[in-house]
Chains A and B, each alone.
Chain A
Amino acid sequence: MKQKRKILWVEDEARHDMVQLIAPVIMDGGYDIVVAENASDGIAQLLQYKFEAIIVDIRIPPGDDPAWIDLYEKSGKEKVAARLGRHFLYTILGNPNAKINLGEKRPKWITSEMIGLLTVETDPELADDLKALVLNVYYQKGAETPETILLDIIKEINDQNM
């Protein structure tokens, strides 16, 4: 048996409506998937562990970190308006546009190539962000989303990094 590759999925519905997407990843046997249900938890996981792929949703809640709560409230106080996932990406990639800066604590191993987006936002809505952050792996979720989408994204990220 190979050592399992560590994957982080930042998605607040990961254990609810989207729980069926986890099954193919677990059944594959090659991955150890960790769920973060909000921005604070996502950052905490990234500061603690090294992951080989990070999959992020754009509409995520802030969690209990005051900085993220503050940003959430300033950005509209609801997931759709705040779109904290964008800020999350800017922060973890250390982009100059980041509103929350991790400074020296930012994990240097995080690169654009290991990040995938799985969100309801359409491509044109995110075009500027995708370009600014050099993100290539993007999928839109909806009613027709296949159950293997998460596994597919992980595999695409793996291929991108090979």
Chain B
Amino acid sequence: MSCLDESWAQVYFQVAILILLFGVGIPSLILQTIVPEDLRRIIYRNWGLYRWGFILIIGFIFIAITFVWIIHPCSSKQIGSLTTTGLIIDQWFTKLGLNLDQSIAGVFITIAIVMTGIVWVLYWFYRGDAILNILKRKCIAQIKRKGVPDERIIKDIQYLGERGGTGRDKIRVLRVLESLAENVQSHEYYDGNKLGNIVEAIEFILRKEPDYLSFNSGLKRLKDIVERLKSLNFASSADTGSVLRALRRLGEIACTLEEVNLALGVLDTIKFVCEGSDEEYKDAGLAFFQIGAIALQKKSYLVAVKGLTQLETMTWPKQPLDAQSSVAYLGLIAHFWVRNGSARKKALSSLNGIEFKPSRLQCLYIAKEIHYEAARFDTADVLTKLIAGLP
């Protein structure tokens, strides 16, 4: 048989195609089976993450060529001369005294080992944290260039966090988001209004099946963001507002789920955010009011009283309270009042300790109007009852 006749060329071609199909097909199969659906979605959306796939395909082309080279008829006739070609594998075969068939078997074993290696590489490469690190690096690179995070990457990271189960996975994602926030905040272009996406991502991750560990970790991240805002003299900024609104919604969810410990954590964090920033008084007050009102509805009285206490602490330096400053406080007091019994007693004892200007009654009327205009009809209604029932 000549070295390169038609039938051998056909064999080469078939073998090469077969190996290529394996090379492309098996990694895809592995991707389908060992990589969870949520990670696959991120991989498909990020072209850069395919690079290992390309490396693998090129590797398989190389294996295909090596394979053809080894089973080449000339090599079977001239095994001795092949040892001088420099191919290590030939030297091994010769040293082991193997013939062509054994060489082919060896090649198959080699392929099996390579495949195992590929499965391992793919498994490690497409783990959640590996992908998270790639996204983080990409996002930091953009932040360094432009001072703002890539919205699409933040969405992908958020997606990983939302579907990352509970505990450690979520915490890992939250840490990455905080690290991105830190990069944005330390950039020279930072103006106190660039963290909306990151704060929203943290909020959405925490809203999904909240557990104490990750929820607490998320609150800590938000707190750290605000701490940096304060140190950068952006205590009152769009980003602080985003954090406060996110906290308010998280507090509402915690109350709705009747998770007292989560709700108490949110109240403490809101207090931290608004401390030292008079401009955030209104947003923070609204947050305490809404969380407190939902807590009352759910009979989580400890949370409700804590919310009221925070409002009292906030309003104390502003006494005598004017109508605008007392809207949230009076709204929550009215919700306590209509519950009769002990709740009413608490409302009265709190109300009697606060001074108003021009008068308590006038502040109550204005608070009622403001709540009505904001479509908080239940609060407007309980204020009507409070006005009618006050001695």
Binding site for B on A (CB under 8 A): 1-4, 15-16, 19, 22-23, 26-27, 29, 32, 34-35, 37, 41, 49, 64
Contact = CB atoms under 8 A, between A and B. Distances in A.
A27 B305 contact: yes
B91 interface: no
B264 A15 contact: yes
B260 interface: yes
A1 B346 CA distance: 13
Contacts of B350: 1, 29
B354 A19 contact: no
B261 A32 contact: no
B249 interface: no
A41 B265 CA distance: 13
B176 to A, nearest CB: 15
A4 B309 contact: yes
Contacts of A4: 309, 312-313, 316
B216 interface: yes
Interface of B: 212, 216, 220, 260-261, 264-265, 268, 271, 275, 302, 305-306, 309-310, 312-313, 316-317, 319, 346, 349-350, 353-354
A23 to B, nearest CB: 5
B309 A26 contact: yes
B302 A22 contact: yes
A16 B212 CA distance: 10
Given A4-B309, A29-B353, A32-B309, A19 B268 contact: no
Contacts of B264: 15, 19, 22, 35
Contact of B313 (A16, A22, A32): A32
Contacts of B310: 32
Nearest to A64: B220
Contacts of B260: 15, 19
B316 A3 contact: yes
A85 B268 CA distance: 22
Contacts of A41: 220
A1 B306 contact: no
A37 B223 CA distance: 14
Contacts of B302: 19, 22-23, 26
B316 to A, nearest CB: 6
A29 B345 CA distance: 13
A5 to B, nearest CB: 11
Given A1-B350, A19-B302, A26-B306, 18 more contacts: A1-B312, A1-B354, A3-B316, A4-B312, A15-B261, A15-B264, A19-B264, A22-B302, A26-B302, A26-B305, A27-B305, A27-B346, A29-B349, A32-B309, A34-B271, A35-B268, A37-B216, A49-B275
A33 B35 CA distance: 47
Contact of B316 (A1, A23, A27, A64): A1
28 contacts: A1-B316, A1-B319, A1-B353, A1-B354, A3-B316, A3-B317, A4-B309, A4-B312, A4-B313, A15-B260, A15-B264, A15-B265, A16-B261, A19-B261, A19-B264, A22-B264, A22-B306, A23-B302, A26-B309, A29-B309, A29-B349, A29-B350, A29-B353, A34-B271, A35-B264, A41-B220, A49-B275, A64-B220
B266 to A, nearest CB: 11
A22 B216 CA distance: 18
A20 to B, nearest CB: 8
Contacts of B309: 4, 26, 29, 32
Contacts of A64: 220
Contacts of A32: 309-310, 313
B261 A23 contact: no
Contacts of B212: 16
